Structure 1
């Protein structure tokens, strides 16, 4: 049975409003009067968003002290859902949440090799050493890989920040949680030099939008499955900014042009959700406060969410 884990934290974002993303989806459902959310058990993560009203002492990992708490709560919720035999479908605000989600999957399946399919415009591989912004929603995969990327350091990071950073990397007592060869990107197209260097050094595969159009989405999906064939379990992270900001909407924290169409995004999320190895799916970064088309991003993501739930129900 699907269990929705609702994480409305936006501590890791650089703009405000991601905490309203899940409710934006609920607005669409209520407007349609389809009672979609009433069919699921829902576990709401306790928040620390009041910290946004205060200054942060961690310029290279803003509000990381609160994010450590959110990571832990998310980890516990995902782990418990998995151990209870439920399928955790995580609906989150900003993408920093994914580090806690991955920790929860690994805590539930500590002896399983975990693969990650990251459908996103961004690689989210920054660390406090490399970040140009200090926003932790650009760092969740680095926590999962237990990577510092100090070879490309641009920041002098204080010990207190690093102590919290170590807590994120070691959440659940397992580090790393994912191996670089078990991380696959789809539609990543907005990265900085330290991330590019890490991607190249670790030989991490990114299937670009151009490649998808040239070789077909079906070909890409098959390649992803083959690359992750040795993984026991898989996690799917769907950031709505993977979709084209001009075609769809700018209703996300960091919109990027030349992305996936909604149809392509829907295909990938559903294709992978149908696989028995997939143990968790997460939707992130809907921000109605930034939406230039009222609530278009949530209206676009909502049918993808519905179809994913139908796909999951057909296999569970």
Structure 2
């Protein structure tokens, strides 16, 4: 059984809409409304970061608030690193998705010689850089940061030198350069991408398991293929779960909902099965925004359900060995 290190990160600076920093509190309230003792059973730590930059206009139009995001990511990276050094299992509830690159940096700082695999469960690829972004919102950039990837062949923006400097510092957080390889990146439920991201995905042959494929082949078959085939060569695995991976009828309290996503049952099953792999060293849930929730705290409640079942399942760890998988053609 792994000792859980429950971390709350009230990240807000990378999103285009306000309210993601309240996601952690929304999940805690959901726990109380369900009369659960979860946050007593698993004491939590809130990582101290600042969102004060929201009260000022960012000069970095292609990477909004990147200077303050860098400061926050240094703190997040260090806290994840300390958690892992104590042989704990980081379970992270964060605000906007930009914080995920700091989590990955913390993992790599702790295990610089280990091969890391990343499972990105999301409606979006989050592969933009300041050179390719159409919005400048940094919650669309964490995968590119962790890959140390500019995707310069798809460049649409002329990035000022000061922004480029901060971008380089972010890419080198924790350890210098890329934290993992595109060969060890797996997408689940991604369905809303821009041409710049699509070009990088195609060039690097990055696998995306669509909702249609998951339903056709079954969650269990897809999960086993990810763990036993796609990430077979990885020593460690990080899972990032964005609530907008679920269908927009469910993810009513998130900044960028997209139709055609996972059901709650599918989200719970996917995370529960993945996290049983002993190589999984951190799990993160992001983008809960109660200010956008049109159904009270429904998003927080669903997120809590997914988190609770995932954490319980993480106690049932096992080692996966590469085996013959019988599956439908894709």
TM-score category, normalised to shorter length: over 0.9
SS for the counterpart of 2:238 is strand
User: Residues of 2 paired with 1:107 and 1:5: CA distance?
Assistant: 18
User: Residues of 2 paired with 1:48 and 1:67: CA distance?
Assistant: 9
User: Residues of 2 paired with 1:161 and 1:46: CA distance?
Assistant: 24
- Counterparts of 1:264-303 in structure 2 under 5 Å? 264-303=266-305
User: Residues of 2 paired with 1:46 and 1:159: CA distance?
Assistant: 29
Residue 2 of structure 1 contacts residue 313 of structure 1 at CA under 8 Å; is this kept in 2? no
For structure 1, list consecutive stretches of 5 or more residues without a partner in the other structure.
none
Tell me the residue number matched to 2:326: none
Q: CA deviation at 1:298?
A: 1.0
Tell me the residue number matched to 1:184: 186
Q: CA deviation at 1:73?
A: 0.8
* Deviations, residues 232-272 of structure 1 (Å, cap 9, x unaligned): 000000000000012x1321111001000011111111111
Tell me the residue number matched to 1:79: 81
Alignment counterpart, residue 251 of structure 2, candidates 228, 249, 252: 249
User: Residues of 2 paired with 1:296 and 1:31: CA distance?
Assistant: 11
SS for the counterpart of 2:129 is coil
- Counterparts of 1:136-155 in structure 2 under 5 Å? 136-155=138-157
Alignment counterpart, residue 239 of structure 2, candidates 214, 217, 236: 236
Tell me the residue number matched to 1:310: 312
Residue 17 of structure 1 contacts residue 289 of structure 1 at CA under 8 Å; is this kept in 2? yes
* Deviations, residues 88-109 of structure 1 (Å, cap 9, x unaligned): 1111000000000000011111
Tell me the residue number matched to 1:114: 116
User: Residues of 2 paired with 1:290 and 1:8: CA distance?
Assistant: 16
SS for the counterpart of 1:148 is coil
* Deviations, residues 169-227 of structure 1 (Å, cap 9, x unaligned): 00012311010000000000000000000000111100111111121111211211111
SS for the counterpart of 1:255 is coil
User: Residues of 1 paired with 2:72 and 2:285: CA distance?
Assistant: 16
User: Residues of 1 paired with 2:35 and 2:176: CA distance?
Assistant: 43
* Deviations, residues 115-170 of structure 1 (Å, cap 9, x unaligned): 00000000000000000000000000001111001101111100000000001100
For structure 2, list consecutive stretches of 5 or more residues without a partner in the other structure.
319-330
Greater shift, 302-311 or 148-157, is seen at 302-311
User: Residues of 2 paired with 1:22 and 1:172: CA distance?
Assistant: 25
TM-score between both structures, scaled by the size of structure 1: 0.98
| RMSD across aligned positions (CA) | 1.1
Alignment counterpart, residue 45 of structure 2, candidates 34, 43, 46: 43
Q: How many aligned residue pairs are there?
A: 315
Tell me the residue number matched to 1:200: 202
User: Residues of 2 paired with 1:274 and 1:173: CA distance?
Assistant: 27
The question of 1:22 aligning with 2:24 is answered yes
User: Residues of 1 paired with 2:311 and 2:202: CA distance?
Assistant: 35
Residue 114 of structure 1 contacts residue 235 of structure 1 at CA under 8 Å; is this kept in 2? yes
Greater shift, 114-123 or 294-303, is seen at 294-303
Q: CA deviation at 1:31?
A: 1.5
User: Residues of 1 paired with 2:86 and 2:121: CA distance?
Assistant: 27
Tell me the residue number matched to 1:123: 125
SS for the counterpart of 1:166 is helix
Tell me the residue number matched to 1:170: 172
User: Residues of 2 paired with 1:39 and 1:20: CA distance?
Assistant: 22
Residue 93 of structure 2 contacts residue 284 of structure 2 at CA under 8 Å; is this kept in 1? yes
Residue 125 of structure 2 contacts residue 197 of structure 2 at CA under 8 Å; is this kept in 1? yes
